[in-house]
Structure 1
Amino acid sequence: MGEKRARFSGWIVDALLACAVLAYAIPPALTGRPFSWFLSWWPVPPWVAVWVAVWVAVLSAVAAALSMLARRRTAWPSIVASLLCLALAGQGVAVTIAAYSMTAEGTVRRWRLTAAVMTAAYLVLDHLGPSPDGLLVLSAVRAVTLVSVPAVIGTWVRGCRTTLAGVWQREEQAASRERRRIAGEMHDTVTHAVTVMVLNAGLIQDTQDLGEIRRLARSIEDKGVRALTELREVLTVLHRRDMPASAEGLEAIPQLVAEGNATGLKCSLHLDVPEGTVARESAHACYRVVQEGLNNVRKHAPASEVRITCEARDDMVTVAVVNSAEGRLRPYPAAPRIGSGYGLVGLKERVNLVGGWLASGRTPEGGFALTARIPCHPPDGER
């Protein structure tokens, strides 16, 4: 819609410029005086000279006006027509517009040479034409002022347009990244909590033990409150790069494993990361990797065994969530497929932001592995 509006506005401007050229050139052209100096070289009757001069001048003015409609696509029609209008109708406004347009629209590669030729042509035509002063220096001043200066101004305008276009493009890219970040935050915050809540609700339907029902109900309530708290904090700090106060780290991974075991998975955890060696951003990324890995297991392999490892070596943390291909004897209700398909994409972007990388795929045994290597301290630009 914006592009169509800009194109329509451009046509309006070009049409107004064409009208301006006609308004400037037609009145003097009707007198026949601008072209009379050329016809005076030929032995023709005066009335013939005037008649031919008027029609030739009017046609040159019309041609210059029509060339304004094509000035954004190509410069040569407007350059040639405007110089003819100057020579035959005695009006140089079209030359000024053509000189400006060829640089502002970038339609002439060697614009300096073209501007120099146009300036010299304007000087000659203005000096030989019906000038009221007849001084060469004044013609030179008019040529530089009305041709060279507009051409230079056009280069400045084009540079400003290019700069603004770059700014708009960078802003659009930043907005796109921000939308993806919001989507990732919402996915990570909501999906895990809702998945656990749905699984617990399914388990409630399969048990008659009142104590187990109460425990599962409390788990659903706790998860719901936790999800609401995280959503409020995410919405509060999304406009900054700050992390929410509730952002979990490595210390919360055992709780994820416990929740997985409580909802039917058989999870084992090997956590070997010395306390205080991992920055908060990196620790949160590790937590999200484990969280997303468990969510995927719940959705695609709810009866499998899951092995979770998190080790720090050489200033890098290696996080892996690997599930087996074997099922369990007593199946548990699978989580509904509420995922949007953007979980791994958003997780990869999150890991990349802290300078790490993420890989996922089938294992030789037929299971699935989600692996990430995350620096203990993110690059300075990402903190």
Structure 2
Amino acid sequence: MSGMRGNFAGFAARRRGEIGDVLLAAAVLAFTIPTTLMGRSFSLLANVPDWLELLAGVATAGAMLLRRRTAWPMIVGAVVCAVLTGQTVPLALAAYSMTAEDRVRRWQWVAVALTGVYVVADYVNPFTDQFLYLITVRALTLVYLPALVGTWVREYRSMNAELRSGVRLREQHAASQERRWIAGELHDTVTHAVTAMVLNAGVIQDTEDHEEIGKLATGIEDKGVQALTELRGLLTVLRREEVYQSSHGVEAIPRLVEEAKDIGLRVSLHLDFPQGALSPQLEHECYRVVQEGLNNVRKHAPGSDVRIVCEADGDVMRVSVVNTPHGRRETVRECPVLESGYGLAGLWERITLAGGRLESGPTPEGGYALTARIPFQPSRAGKS
């Protein structure tokens, strides 16, 4: 039984509009056919045969099935039915449907005309009172008011459709942002770890010092474990605005510098920021800027000197990675990792979303500079 109810509910949800049309057609038949068969109809015209009244009722009911495509057959049918049978219910249904489905441009005039037809039909009805003002009130209530209600229903449907469309667009935008964020995190994590591992492996091939080989192999293992830890933490975060637990902050930047020195880069670091004043998200962005800058130096200028600055300037955190022109390359093994093209683009998106600005380009001395400026609120962050 529950399965049958579920199937019926699903069918009713899918065919709600068609079911409504059938119910309106059935209502027209219920108000016109029985009165004609029982001889209780009161036509505005004299000596109208029963078959013509029945035909008018059936035609009007059939026109209700077309109300979503066009309103005029329904409107004409309702007027004809009121004239031939004296039944005014189709007028109310037609007035509501024409505005609810938005099928008549100047619906006010049509509603006034239908209201007038109702007044005439009700006035000649021998079973109702003959007070014109009461008939007018009934006409406005039963014909013009349903037309107004139809406009409200139409506006509600339109607003609901816009809200649903907006929700879908926001969901798609959120999903797109999430995919970009995950792609950026994957790129930064994997690129840095793999670059360091490849460089260490290359150094192992060029040295015969067993102690140095053991140190480099340990570094490869540590970077692999670190990358796996970050990936595992990233995969557990699907829709979360805060950074994942294993993400790195500003305190991890010196470790990046030491790793770069281990493979032969000449790197200097200047850190100057208020302790505890930066949010975890902002610290993570600073870490990613330094990481991407060092990766670019390894790939494009492995023999250059690198200057890293991470300092707070008022309410702006400035992080820069600047390298000199190419120096001697014999001390550093070039990285054979292929270009991905996603590093700077992903970093730009990351900094922009944080409300900051990312600049990159050659320096006047012939080197290259990567600089990020990210605003923050030191007073509020310090209190927390």
- TM-score under structure 1 length normalisation: 0.73
Q: 1:104-183 residue pairs with structure 2 within 5 A?
A: 113=108, 117=112, 120-121=115-116, 123-124=118-119, 126-127=121-122, 133=128, 136=135, 137-143=137-143, 146-183=146-183
Tell me, in whole angstroms, the C-alpha distance in 2 between the residues paired with 1:199 and 1:242.
32
Q: Is the 8 A contact 2:92 2:142 kept in 1?
A: no
Q: 1:376 to 1:87 in 2, by over 3 A?
A: closer
Instruction: Give the deviation of 1:294 after TM superposition.
Output: 1.6
Q: Is the 8 A contact 1:297 1:323 kept in 2?
A: yes
Does 1:85 find its partner at 2:77? yes
Match of 1:358 in 2: 358
Q: Is the 8 A contact 2:204 2:213 kept in 1?
A: yes
Which residue identity lines up with residue 128 of structure 2 in the other structure?
D
Deviations 1:99-123 (A, max 9, x none): 35634x6677887x46853763563
Moved more, 137-146 or 246-255: 137-146
Tell me, in whole angstroms, the C-alpha distance in 2 between the residues paired with 1:114 and 1:380.
62
Q: 1:66 to 1:220 in 2, by over 3 A?
A: same
Q: Secondary structure at the match of 2:307?
A: strand
Q: Is the 8 A contact 2:67 2:98 kept in 1?
A: no
1:99 to 96, 99, 109: 96
Q: Secondary structure at the match of 1:306?
A: strand
Which residue identity lines up with residue 124 of structure 1 in the other structure?
V
Gaps of 5+ in 1: 1-7, 41-45, 71-76
Match of 2:333 in 1: 332
Instruction: Give the deviation of 1:217 after TM superposition.
Output: 0.6
Match of 1:74 in 2: none
Q: Secondary structure at the match of 1:279?
A: coil
Which residue identity lines up with residue 196 of structure 2 in the other structure?
V
Q: 1:93 to 1:169 in 2, by over 3 A?
A: farther
Instruction: Give the deviation of 1:17 after TM superposition.
Output: 4.5
Which residue identity lines up with residue 181 of structure 1 in the other structure?
W
Q: Is the 8 A contact 2:79 2:91 kept in 1?
A: no
Match of 1:258 in 2: 258
Moved more, 313-322 or 273-282: 273-282
Q: 1:314-329 residue pairs with structure 2 within 5 A?
A: 314-326=314-326, 328-329=328-329
Tell me, in whole angstroms, the C-alpha distance in 1 between the residues paired with 2:337 and 2:12.
52
Q: 1:344 to 1:55 in 2, by over 3 A?
A: same
Tell me, in whole angstroms, the C-alpha distance in 1 between the residues paired with 2:138 and 2:110.
19
Tell me, in whole angstroms, the C-alpha distance in 2 between the residues paired with 1:110 and 1:207.
89
Match of 1:283 in 2: 283
Q: 1:1-383 residue pairs with structure 2 within 5 A?
A: 12-25=15-28, 28=32, 37=43, 39-40=45-46, 61-68=61-68, 70=69, 77-78=70-71, 80-89=72-81, 90=87, 92-93=89-90, 96=93, 99=96, 102-103=99-100, 113=108, 117=112, 120-121=115-116, 123-124=118-119, 126-127=121-122, 133=128, 136=135, 137-143=137-143, 146-236=146-236, 239-264=239-264, 266-276=265-275, 278-281=277-280, 282-326=282-326, 328-330=328-330, 332-337=333-338, 339=340, 341-364=341-364, 367-377=367-377
Instruction: Give the deviation of 1:285 after TM superposition.
Output: 1.7
Which residue identity lines up with residue 199 of structure 2 in the other structure?
L
Gaps of 5+ in 2: 1-10, 82-86
Tell me, in whole angstroms, the C-alpha distance in 1 between the residues paired with 2:249 and 2:179.
24
- TM-score under structure 2 length normalisation: 0.73
Q: 1:176 to 1:231 in 2, by over 3 A?
A: same
Tell me, in whole angstroms, the C-alpha distance in 1 between the residues paired with 2:117 and 2:189.
70
Q: 1:215 to 1:83 in 2, by over 3 A?
A: same
Tell me, in whole angstroms, the C-alpha distance in 2 between the residues paired with 1:195 and 1:106.
63
Q: Is the 8 A contact 2:184 2:346 kept in 1?
A: yes
Instruction: Give the deviation of 1:359 after TM superposition.
Output: 1.9
Which residue identity lines up with residue 96 of structure 2 in the other structure?
A
Q: 1:333 to 1:22 in 2, by over 3 A?
A: same
In the alignment of these two chains, the number of paired residues is 357
Q: Is the 8 A contact 1:21 1:94 kept in 2?
A: no
Q: 1:102 to 1:182 in 2, by over 3 A?
A: farther
Q: Secondary structure at the match of 1:66?
A: coil
Tell me, in whole angstroms, the C-alpha distance in 2 between the residues paired with 1:244 and 1:119.
66
Tell me, in whole angstroms, the C-alpha distance in 2 between the residues paired with 1:212 and 1:308.
27
Deviations 1:333-358 (A, max 9, x none): 4242274x433333233323443211
Give the % identical residues.
Answer: 40
Q: Is the 8 A contact 1:96 1:150 kept in 2?
A: no
Q: Is the 8 A contact 1:36 1:50 kept in 2?
A: no
Instruction: Give the deviation of 1:220 after TM superposition.
Output: 0.8
Tell me, in whole angstroms, the C-alpha distance in 1 between the residues paired with 2:375 and 2:227.
28
Tell me, in whole angstroms, the C-alpha distance in 1 between the residues paired with 2:335 and 2:324.
16
Q: Is the 8 A contact 2:95 2:144 kept in 1?
A: no
Deviations 1:141-199 (A, max 9, x none): 43256444344344344434434443443344333333333333333333312221222
